[in-house]
Amino acid sequence: MKINIKAVALFWLALLVCLPLTVTNALAADMAALVNTAGMQRMLTQRITKDYLFLGNQIRAGKARRQMKGSMALLVSNHDVLKKSVTDSKVNALLAEVDPMLEKMEKITKAPYVKFSGVTMLELSEAMLELYQAIVVELESKQSEKTVAAVNTAGRQRMLSQRIAMFYAAHQAGFKSDSTVSGMKQAVDEFESAHKTLEANTLNSDDINRELQGVENVWKTVRQYFTGSTEKSYPVTIFVTTDDIMKRMNKITLLYVKAHWAKNKTTK
């Protein structure tokens, strides 16, 4: 496994886009951190498309544009970290499949908003999500420790928070297909199921349990807008709360990474 010299720069980039989702040189050599990084990529594909659609709807347009630009830069940088840090041939082949899609997504985000491009962004985010998920599975399989599995699950919650918001934004933008409806329902079900799994994790510290409770409290305020329990629409609220959930889940993910380090240190 090779350590990437660009990793430190990600720290400052993440601060600029209000996402504490970095990989340092030390982290790049750690399997839990690589699972975290690849898992982060899943989230960023959904977040970028979500921001593109919110931008098109002129909902928090300024913030959506800034987030999209910062997330796109982070997606590209993290992709480079993975390509230079991982030597596994199967993972490298999957990363190579992402390359042309990444270039296309970056090109769209740099151009003025076009509604038709929203369809392309949804397709790209779906395809890239599948590839990054496969990468996470491959990396996770290298170690059987529960801590690494928890990093994957918590990291996936970050993605699901943005995926739910993405489908909501797609619906608001007029992309009211069966796939967006079923996609949102599936994402909601998976989010709630994984949350219960994390709550029952025996590795949880007081800090992790506290953050999980915070996620649950926020989720309860917006769940009704995703499950058809109400016809009311509060897109600004959705934009803000799903980002809040994502950031809380990111903190939890990093706490699991820290637990992984601590566990490895005590066994050496």
Question: Residue 132: what pLDDT?
Answer: 97
Say if CB 23 and CB 9 are below 8 A apart: no
Backbone torsion region of residue 125, taken as left when φ is above 0, otherwise alpha when ψ lies between -120 and 50, otherwise beta? alpha
In 68-215 the beta strands, taken as DSSP E runs, fall at none
Question: Residue 266: what pLDDT?
Answer: 59
d(CA 109, CA 121): 9
Closest C-alpha to 160, from 123, 128, 186: 186
Angle formed at CA 69 by CA 67 and CA 71, multiple of 5 degrees: 65
pLDDT in tens, the chain (268 residues): 444 434 434 433 443 344 444 444 344 347 778 888 999 999 999 999 999 999 998 988 999 999 999 999 999 999 999 999 888 899 999 999 999 999 999 999 999 999 999 999 999 999 999 999 999 999 888 765 666 788 889 999 999 999 999 999 998 888 877 888 889 999 999 999 999 999 999 889 999 999 999 999 999 999 988 887 666 778 899 999 999 999 999 999 989 888 877 766 655 5
Say if CB 159 and CB 39 are below 8 A apart: yes
Question: Residue 206: what pLDDT?
Answer: 96
pTM: 0.84
